[in-house]
Structure 1
Amino acid sequence: MSQTSGDTPGGVLRTRQLLQLSLPALLIGVASALTLWLLDELAHLLQQVWWQTLPAALGVDPDGWWVVLILTLTGAAVGLVVWLVPGHGGTDSATTELVAPTLPVSALPSVALVVVLALAGGVSLGPESPIIAINTAIAVAVVARLWSAVPTELVVVLAAAGTIGALFGTPVAAALVFTGILAATKAPGSLWDKLFLPLVAAGAGSIVASMVGGGISMTAGIPAYQPENPAIEALWGIGIACAAAALALVGIAVFPHVHRLFRRLRNPVIYTALGGLILGLLGLLGGPLTLFKGLEQSAELLANPDAYSPAQLAVITVVKLAALVVAAAAGFRGGRIFPAVFIGVALGTLAHALIPGLPLGLAVACGVLGLTLAVSRDGWIALFIAVAISGDITLLPVMCVVILPAWLIVRVAPEMIVHPKKQEPSGAQAASA
């Protein structure tokens, strides 16, 4: 990480400099949380209109053919933005990491529009990637004017950390995500010196998110884990996590092929509308639980897990995985972590139903760990979400053991990212086609 002028010999920041940089870090965290809250509120209002107000006014069942109609129209709307609106919805989410290269400010209205449409329309993607892209672009532009001495690379890290802190409602998630990233940098200094400013931004983001009612509650109210036979239960946990990782890798293996098939249609309106149609049909097959980003649906599933038969849980799991692959490949903008959490919850609930005496909290945590590990390829975030979804810190030692064989499965497998030879067609390119 680059440093400001006046550093101590070797590039290590002084305490005074850390304190001075804390102000922009604090403001970036606050602004990141407010941007997340604003876009989430807009998506929620639009979601209510599409899925409650209009069906009630028209006297139609929102869980019937309405699902196909809304998702198809959502796909067409997103495609129109990607095709015609300046900025074209930003970078194709299928081709980027969680923290992508900084976008120009001129592209942000189109990115905001496509993420609001996708969240409101029931697309099986989370908000994390587009929101981070929006916040980093704004932060880089503003800091370049007000604090030009602050390095751009640091601003990107602070905006991403502030957004992650706001998303999860805690700076812990950001600390874990950036531990590996910052530890790998060649800049001198201790890891905690490098984490200091990102934690300021993440802490500010999480506090503001809780104040405005934003952020995401991961805890699902699962009964506390009370081990009866820890060794056997740990073995079952390893099996569930490895099965979850293997299932995710099936989706990851077909992901680039599905992405390529959609892009053969060339025009974004066509392939995103088709993607929306397929998502609608999958929604009819899997039911309302398989729509949207998945966290609220995870809580709904865990509120009454016995209401679903093993066959229903199997269908929900497979349908949601298919929906994640289609949504991510068909040109929608969004992140893949939150849908992966739901798939892990469904798979863990299925394991609990099939294995007598297996604690629900352990089964769900292992399912979530395996899915998020394969999709995110980040062991820290997988451990964090697995424990957070159960709300039980006593599961952490078991999860630290369970993750090891699961990591051996995913470490050499392909990641859920596409490296196309040609970028997604711009509006002008698509129009000429």
Structure 2
Amino acid sequence: MGDRAEPEAGRLEQLARSGPYLRVLLLAGLVGVPVSAVAFAFLALLHRLTALVWEDLPADLGLDPVPWWWPAPWLLLGGLLTGAAVKWTPGGAGHLPIDGLSAEPVKPAYLPGVLLAAVGGLPLGVVLGPEAPLMAVGAATALMLARRTQGTPAAGIVGTSGSAAAVAVIFGSPLVAAVFILEAAGFAGPKLTKLLLPCLLSAGVGALIFTGLGAWTGLPVSSLELPGLPDATLHVTDLLWTVPAAVAIAVGVREVHALGRRLAPVAQRRPMAMALTAVAVTAVCAGAYALLTGRSPVDVLLSGQDSLADLSRDPEAFGIGVLVAVLVFKGVAYAVSLAALRGGPIFPGVFLGAAAGVLLSALPGFGAVPALAAGMAAATAAVLPLPVSAAILVTLLLGADAASMTPVVLIAVVVAFVTGRVLDRSRTGEAA
């Protein structure tokens, strides 16, 4: 991803040194207003459809809790819609989730396929998050609004700013959105300040519009956030356990991704067949989890946002057996979704890291909150090797505990990042 971004980064650096830069900066701020409105509508639609399928309809039918077989028909429909989008729409409904997130602008012609795969898959149980299609919606909308910039160096900066505006609230902070996108694009050094300004401006405007639309419409739009965590004190034993915990979680996450990478070439050759296979595997995993644990199959499905909130609010409700089951079954469903479906890879990874951290908190001297923080940080750094973004995202998620848990977060991010690099090099035969 960094190699592909280099030519574009050079063009943007040339633009940043030129006179029209202030006009581009103003355009990025203006684009943030309509982009955030479109992103708000997109997230509100996803939230409403998710609630309809997994809460309203089961309640109306007297199915409480959701039975083990409930996900199967919805996932089948999601697989058909996603497979059709991948196979028959321009752009293949966006990039593969197994490749991470791309900060490259998305062509407006690709937007119908992206929307069909997202709306047709994510609310119906696909184990991916909304961040990737949301970035695509933001970038494509920005480019449509700024048609005159297409084919010029300004197009890249406008598209990137649109992505920042769209994901500002889903990550819970405009700062996270801007840093995340720029780190993903490979910007560094002197380029960073000049290219960060439009993204910060657009993300800030987007967050403001999001907040206003939420208050005005009353529509719920979820973001990646945790409820208030109990006060926690950091001990030396927490720091000592963080290192092996981060290594173990990074290895586990990389193994999940390795499975997805082995399946991805087959999915590219036979998108419809693999999409249906992926949702079938996901349905089996969700049903098996529900039958074994007596809990709702929803724990294994979707992005994990709501399950993450439940886990952090009451970790004792998830016993050791339940945590092991959710890690195994959601991990498998996550791997096949990464390979064959469409969505973002971050949210399920954060949940799996949190679940692994809570499981490891059973170790003597490893507190629940430090273990949760270490798990989320290690998984985020392993899912997407963007250490600065991972550290900022998890730190902000921890809320009032952020200051005391920062050492754990930073150690876990660094250890997981290095572990991931070593694993990557060992698989390619390079010297570690």
TM-score for both structures, normalised by structure 1: 0.83
Q: Distance in 1 between matches of 2:12 and 2:78?
A: 44
Matched position secondary structure for 1:20: helix
Matched, 1:348 2:353: no
The alpha-carbon deviation at position 181 of structure 1 amounts to 5.7
Is contact 1:171-1:202 (8 Å) kept? yes
Which residue of the partner structure matches residue 198 of structure 2?
A: 197
Is contact 1:178-1:195 (8 Å) kept? no
Which residue of the partner structure matches residue 127 of structure 2?
A: 124
Greater shift, 402-411 or 116-125, is seen at 402-411
Q: Which residue, 219, 223, 228 being the options, matches 1:221? A: 228
Matched, 1:301 2:311: yes
Is contact 1:374-1:410 (8 Å) kept? yes
The alpha-carbon deviation at position 182 of structure 1 amounts to 7.0
Q: Write 1 or 2 for the structure with the bigger share of helix.
A: 2
The alpha-carbon deviation at position 109 of structure 1 amounts to 1.7
Greater shift, 273-282 or 52-61, is seen at 52-61
Aligned amino acid, residue 68 of structure 2: G
Q: Which residue, 348, 359, 366 being the options, matches 2:374? A: 366
- Once the two structures are superposed, residues 105-138 of structure 1 have per-residue CA deviations (whole angstroms, 9 ceiling, x without a partner) of 2331221121012221021101111221222122
Q: Where in structure 2 are there 5+ consecutive unaligned residues?
A: 1-8, 215-220, 290-296, 426-432
Greater shift, 19-28 or 296-305, is seen at 19-28
The alpha-carbon deviation at position 53 of structure 1 amounts to 4.0
Which residue of the partner structure matches residue 292 of structure 1?
A: 302
Matched position secondary structure for 1:168: coil
Structural RMSD (CA): 2.7
Distance 1:262 1:18, change over 3 A: closer
Aligned amino acid, residue 349 of structure 1: V
Which residue of the partner structure matches residue 383 of structure 1?
A: 391
- Once the two structures are superposed, residues 295-349 of structure 1 have per-residue CA deviations (whole angstroms, 9 ceiling, x without a partner) of 111001222111221121111112221111111112x210100000100111111
The alpha-carbon deviation at position 374 of structure 1 amounts to 0.9
Which residue of the partner structure matches residue 269 of structure 1?
A: 272
Q: Which residue, 84, 87, 105 being the options, matches 1:83? A: 87
What is the total number of aligned residue pairs between the two structures? 400
Distance 1:146 1:299, change over 3 A: same
Matched position secondary structure for 1:335: coil
Is contact 2:98-2:260 (8 Å) kept? no
Greater shift, 34-43 or 255-264, is seen at 255-264
Q: Distance in 2 between matches of 1:319 and 1:192?
A: 43
Matched, 1:244 2:249: yes
Matched, 1:71 2:75: yes
Aligned amino acid, residue 147 of structure 2: A
Q: Where in structure 1 are there 5+ consecutive unaligned residues?
A: 416-433
Q: Which residue, 23, 30, 33 being the options, matches 1:30? A: 33
The alpha-carbon deviation at position 276 of structure 1 amounts to 1.1
Distance 1:184 1:105, change over 3 A: closer
Distance 1:13 1:101, change over 3 A: closer
- Once the two structures are superposed, residues 385-426 of structure 1 have per-residue CA deviations (whole angstroms, 9 ceiling, x without a partner) of 3223322222113322333332221124349xxxxxxxxxxx
Q: Distance in 2 between matches of 1:72 and 1:96?
A: 24
Q: Distance in 1 between matches of 2:86 and 2:60?
A: 31
Distance 1:148 1:403, change over 3 A: closer
- Once the two structures are superposed, residues 262-295 of structure 1 have per-residue CA deviations (whole angstroms, 9 ceiling, x without a partner) of 456x2x3332122111111111233321211111
Q: Distance in 1 between matches of 2:417 and 2:146?
A: 39
- Once the two structures are superposed, residues 160-191 of structure 1 have per-residue CA deviations (whole angstroms, 9 ceiling, x without a partner) of 222231322312212432454677468xx574
Which residue of the partner structure matches residue 206 of structure 1?
A: 207
Is contact 2:238-2:365 (8 Å) kept? no
Q: Distance in 2 between matches of 1:33 and 1:381?
A: 21
Distance 1:184 1:89, change over 3 A: closer
- Once the two structures are superposed, residues 26-49 of structure 1 have per-residue CA deviations (whole angstroms, 9 ceiling, x without a partner) of 122223322222112222222233
Is contact 1:90-1:110 (8 Å) kept? yes
Distance 1:270 1:181, change over 3 A: closer
Aligned amino acid, residue 246 of structure 1: V
The alpha-carbon deviation at position 380 of structure 1 amounts to 1.2
Which residue of the partner structure matches residue 279 of structure 1?
A: 282
Q: Which residue, 101, 109, 112 being the options, matches 2:112? A: 109
The alpha-carbon deviation at position 95 of structure 1 amounts to 5.9
Matched, 1:176 2:179: yes
